[in-house]
Each structure stands twice: as C-alpha cells, then as structure tokens.
Amino acid sequence: MIDPTPIYDAATAFWKSSALFAACRVGLFDALNEPAKAEDLAKQLDLSERGALALLDACVALDLLEKNEGIYSNTPTGKRYLTSTSPESLLVTLELQANTYPMWMNLSESVKKGQPAIPPQDLLGGDRELTRQFVVGMHQRALGIAESLVNVVDLSGCRLMADIGGGPGTYSTMILKRYPELRSRIFDLAPIQEVAKALVSTSGVADRIEMIPCDATADDFGDGYDAALISGLLHRMTPEICQNILEKVYTGMESGGKLVLNDLFTLDGKPALAVLFGLQFLLTNETGGTHDAGDMAAWTSDAGFEDVQITAMFPYMFITARKA
C-alpha cells in the first residue's frame, strides 16, 4: 500500500495553527501564568467549559501546554513566546499570520493570475494598522534570529554598518550592543521607519543609529561604510533587483568591508518552510519569492565580493562575504 500520510498531514495542518491562533486570541497563555483547571479558565476567560477543555487538550497534544492531574500550565516555550508580558513574545507576529488565513484560502486564484490577494502597499504604509503589525511582527521574529546572527557573524573592527531594509532596527540594535564602536545607518521605506523609531528609541543605542528613508529598488546607500547587512529584504525582489542591490552595496562599501545576507533561502529545494514562504509572497507581493542560497552566493560573487560562505541555521541562512 502506498502511504497517504503526507496527504492527510498537509490537509489537516491548519488544525494545528488554528488551535494556536485561537489560544492566543482568547488569552489562554496569559491566563496560565498560574496553573489552573479547565473550568476555572473557562470562567476567567468567558469561554464555554466544553470549548475551553477541547482547546486546552489540543494545546497539550501540540506541546504548547502541560497537563498534570487536571491542572494546566504553560510550557517554558509557551511562557517565553506566547505570553504578552514576555520580552520575547510572538503574539503580534502570530496575529499577523492569523490574518493571512483568508488569503491562503484564495491561493488557487493567485496561482492562476500570478497576482497577490491583497494590495502589497497595505503592509508598507497603505494601511497604518497592518503596517504597525508588520513592523512589530518583524521585530518579534528578529529577536531570536539576531541573537543567533551576532554569535555567528564577526564585525569586530568595523566602524559603520549599512543596515539595508533594516525594518524595525532589531538587528542594528542587537549588533551595536555587541560592538560598542560600531554605528549604523538603517535604510528602509519612510512608513516602516515611522513605526521603527519607537522601537529603536528604547534600545539604549539610538544615539549610534541614523535612520534614512530609502527605496532599495531605486535609491543607493551612500558610501563610507565598512559593513553591510541585508536581512529579510531580498525575498521581496526579483533576481535582477537582488543583483542590482548587491552591486550598489559593493560600490559604496569601503575596501575590506564585510557583507552579511540573512534570509529564508532554500538550498536544493529545502527546507519546506522556506519553500512555502515563497507561496506566501505570491499572496502578498507582486514580485519576489524564496531565492536559492547557491544562486544568491553566485550573485554576491558576481558583484565583486570574495570569500562568499553560506551558513545554515534553521530556518534561516546567512551568507557572508567581503570586499577585497
């Protein structure tokens, strides 16, 4: 018999995400800062007892909660990422992801037409609240990734970093904390930076950050920098624009400068998360998708950079290089 398990797994995958999103929306993880029984949680959160019990048990089965003799409690992971009071909370990110459900239901139409399901500008300033959620969501996702990045990438000796498509400024602030002699120029669209300013202002390193409104597809990035970071930007671009951006960075960078690319790249068609991320971009953007790390490394070399290396750190990949 040919095993149909992959089909069933794909067909029911939304059950898991629906349970997670529902638990976040009703405040289940915040309510479980103290362990509690299902009936008590139902009263506290104004839920039906049947619904509370079903959702709680589903979260236990998904390893999002723990259950011991009828008492439910947060897992260390849930407490760290799914409570609103945690500095590493992902709740805004998850709410933004939950709001993409209607788009995914219309994926077949986007596949047929090659057009996004929503106006791409909604996330980039067209809709103020969506833009805020988008930028704060980027910040929440970036916290963990930036922690990995600063431990992998060596920017010692660098004086000025161009953070291109720097979004909420999370990478810049964490890198600057690691390197006290480094300054950063963050380049991004003006509506993105309006939201990012509040995040940067509380970072403790705002005095070493300059925010420069910029459209990376059309503008250059100045000169005089000896480090450049491009994180989570290139998946929005066509291969041709990616190559143009790399060439502009090379032109403006000082000799001996260091380049870091960080994104959801694929490598030989994996990982699946990065491949599916390309489908999401079909729903939200007119161009772009997931690029292959090997192709990106080749474009980096073609732009003039040397010592191009790929480092995988699931689900992201880092590509580092230098200007001779």
Task: Give which of 178, 182, 165, 174 is closest to 229, Cα–Cα.
Answer: 165
pLDDT value of residue 137: 79
Structure tokens at 301: 């070399």
Instruction: Verify that 24 and 54 share a domain, yes or no.
Output: yes
Both 247 and 169 in one domain: the answer is yes
What is the secondary structure of 150-162 as a DSSP string? HHH---TT--EEE
Domains in the chain: how many in total? 2
Assess whether 183 and 148 both reside in one domain. yes
pLDDT, tens digit only, all 324 positions of the chain: 899 899 999 999 999 999 999 999 999 999 999 999 999 999 999 999 999 999 999 999 999 999 999 999 999 999 999 999 998 899 988 988 898 888 898 899 989 988 888 777 777 777 788 788 878 878 887 777 777 777 888 999 999 999 999 999 999 999 999 999 999 999 999 999 998 999 999 999 999 999 999 999 999 999 999 999 999 899 989 999 999 999 999 999 999 999 999 999 999 888 888 899 888 888 888 888 899 999 999 999 999 999 999 998 877 899 999 999
**Spatial contact of 217 and 246, defined as CB atoms under 8 Å apart:** no
Identify whether residues 306 and 285 lie together within a single domain: yes
Among residues 222, 231, 237, 223, the alpha carbon closest in space to that of 281 is found at 237
Kindly state whether residues 43 and 112 are assigned to the same domain. Answer: no
Which H helix or E strand runs over 242? helix 239-252
Same domain, 106 and 85: no
Same domain, 266 and 208: yes
**Do 163 and 16 share a domain, yes or no?**
no
Give the angle 265-246-214 at the CA atoms, nearest 5°.
100
- Would you state the pLDDT for residue 78? 95
Its pTM stands at 0.85
The CATH number assigned to the domain holding 78 equals 1.10.10.10
Model confidence over 174-217: pLDDT tens digits? Answer: 999 999 999 999 999 999 999 899 999 999 999 999 999 999 99
Domain span holding position 259: 102-322
Residue 271 and residue 151 share a domain: yes
Domain membership of residue 95 (yes or no) is no
